[in-house]
A and B are shown apart, each in its own frame.
Chain A
Amino acid sequence: QQQVKQSPQSLIVQKGGISIINCAYENTAFDYFPWYQQFPGKGPALLIAIRPDVSEKKEGRFTISFNKSAKQFSLHIMDSQPGDSATYFCAASSNSGYALNFGKGTSLLVTP
């Protein structure tokens, strides 16, 4: 079954707006939560990642918010740009396993 649930499936945002993608998980053993960005025909590339000891991590225009009690985490893209148009995947893994468990992805389109 899908261990990480991601929403929305697709998102359209105007240039300069905020893009928000949400993920939820059930496995409390997960302790590493990365976000990947994938352009068509390319492999996923790590964007930003967080561990449960912090509630927020910011890198440039990208911020992860993490709510451990709700078992949810989200990606915020501030001042969204057309070049941010891509598919975004959240993922989770635990220290006892080797697999990254991916969400189904969000297709983001930033309009000029």
Chain B
Amino acid sequence: NAGVMQNPRHLVRRRGQEARLRCSPMKGHSHVYWYRQLPEEGLKFMVYLQKENIIDESGMPKERFSAEFPKEGPSILRIQQVVRGDSAAYFCASSPLNVQSNTEAFFGQGTRLTVV
């Protein structure tokens, strides 16, 4: 019974490159959330997705960032033309289908992105 799986665990990109972060939710979970954690900061909500739908992307920067959760396969957080300020830990969380939105979300171990 695997938990939320994120890969890669560590990602180094040069400025201007693209970063792709993957998240496989727990089995039976169809709700996925992405959070960003900067050093010495709490986690900041970015986007909430259900299968094939973006439900709330109020925390996503308007440019360069996009997210998807296709019918098959993991959720992807994509950052185009990365800049140094994108360096952070990105966490994915998932929750079951038929629960209230504020029920427990299980977090993955994160992807630590470093932009050089």
**A interface, CB within 8 angstroms of B:** 4, 6, 31-32, 34, 36, 41-46, 49, 89, 91, 93-95, 97-105
Contact = CB atoms under 8 A, between A and B. Distances in A.
Given A6-B42, A98-B48, A99-B56, A31 B107 contact: no
Contacts of B59: 99
Interface string B28-55: 0000010100001111110010000001
Contacts of A102: 35, 42-44
Interface of B: 4, 6, 33, 35, 40-45, 48, 55-56, 58-59, 91, 93, 100-102, 104-110
A95 B110 CA distance: 26
A42 B59 CA distance: 22
Contact of B42 (A34, A49, A89, A97): A89
Given A6-B42, A102-B42, A44 B107 contact: yes
A43 B4 contact: yes
Contact of A93 (B6, B91, B102, B110): B102
Contacts of B43: 44, 89, 100, 102
27 contacts: A32-B102, A43-B93, A43-B109, A44-B107, A46-B104, A46-B105, A46-B106, A93-B102, A95-B100, A95-B102, A97-B102, A98-B33, A98-B45, A98-B56, A98-B101, A99-B33, A99-B48, A100-B33, A100-B45, A100-B102, A102-B35, A102-B42, A103-B42, A104-B42, A105-B40, A105-B41, A105-B42
Nearest to A104: B42
Interface of A is mostly: strand
Given A101-B45, A104-B41, 15 more contacts: A32-B102, A42-B110, A43-B4, A44-B43, A89-B42, A93-B102, A95-B101, A97-B56, A97-B102, A99-B56, A99-B58, A100-B33, A100-B45, A102-B43, A105-B41
